Amino acid sequence: MDVREIMQKIEHQYSYDKSLGITVREPEKGKIVLELPITRSHLNYNHTVHGAVYAGLLDTATGLTIRSLTGQPSVTIQLNVHYLAPGNEGGILIATASI
């Protein structure tokens, strides 16, 4: 199974990524670019993107990048996020991960 086949299978199979609205833009072996259009469901009480949405997107990008190389699923043991700026409804979050 090549990288594109793995990513298509993942996009159609896993409900967490689908519920967030994550799509795979550029799958390559050892690199992935994900996109998440920001909707009202991603916002916190301050009307900005909830931190868990960022963390979920980053965790997904990391896991898919590893899987693109190994073909095997992986599990995150630790994830640290430094929040630099708020995301707003109507924007798009893009995550790029590479090994």
The mean per-residue pLDDT over the stretch 55-68 comes to 92
Cβ 30 vs Cβ 98: under 8 Å? yes
3-state secondary structure of 13: helix
Architecture of domain 3-98: Roll (3.10)
Q: What is the pLDDT of residues 44-53, one digit of tens each?
A: 999 999 999 9
pTM: 0.87
What is the band of 23 on the pLDDT scale with cuts at 50, 70, 90? confident
In angstroms, the CA 87 to CA 36 distance is: 11
Residue with tokens 């190389």: 69
Which residue's entry shows tokens 């979050």? Answer: 93
How are strands ordered across the β-sheet holding 23-28? 23-28, 31-37, 92-98
Question: Using 50, 70 and 90 to split pLDDT, how confident is the model at 56?
Answer: very high
At residue 46, the pLDDT reads 96
